[in-house]
Amino acid sequence: MSTILIVDDEQSILDVVAAILERERHVTFKAHDAEGAMSVIARGGIDAALVDVVLPGRGGLDLLMEIRKDYPDLPVIIMSGKVRTDSRPFTTLARQFGAKGILPKPFTPKELIESLSTALPE
């Protein structure tokens, strides 16, 4: 069991991803934007974060950079349905910024769980 932060500006995505993870016995926290995400992370106890690329205010890659700076060991998986995650420049950029995985939307529950399992420390 791990504690996972889900960051997305769409409530339906937050709810669906949380439900999938909770069925797998993970504890979830949700945030709609970068500021909310950093507030949750600062409280401690987060084992990994799923971060959407497109967020209000600062985007997901900006949030990823801030997490890397302040919490370098926290695994982050980037999610997106609006940015082509299969493009080489995006993939390279996300990896350079320290993403442990890239998860294109829409994704299946199996893809979500596999991506998270790969990112989490053993």
Q: What's the pLDDT tens digit per position in 25-70?
A: 999 999 999 999 999 999 999 999 999 999 999 999 999 999 999 9
- Domain carrying residue 8: 3-98
In a domain, 121, yes or no: no
Q: Measure the CA dihedral 58/38/95/26, to 10°.
A: -130
Q: Considering the chain, what percentage of its residues have pLDDT values greater than 70? A: 89
- Distance from CA of residue 24 to its chain's centroid? 17
The pLDDT, as a whole number, for residue 98 is: 84
Position 70 in a domain: yes
> What token pair was written down for 49?
């974060």
pLDDT at 86: 56
Instruction: State how far the Cα of 52 lies from the Cα of 112, in Å rounded to an integer.
Output: 13
Q: Label residue 119 by pLDDT band (50, 70, 90).
A: very high
pLDDT of residue 93: 62
Within a domain: residue 106? no
CATH of residue 37: 3.40.50.2300
What is the SS3 assignment for 49-111?
A: EEEECCCCCCCHHHHHHHHHHHCCCCCEEEEECCCCCCCHHHHHHHHHCCCCEEEECCCCHHH
Token readout for 37 is: 């995400």
Q: Distance (Å, rounded) from C-alpha 41 to C-alpha 35? A: 10
pLDDT of 88 reads 62
Residue 78 lies in a domain: yes
The count of structural domains within the chain is 1
Let me know if residue 110 belongs to a domain.
no
In a domain, 107, yes or no: no
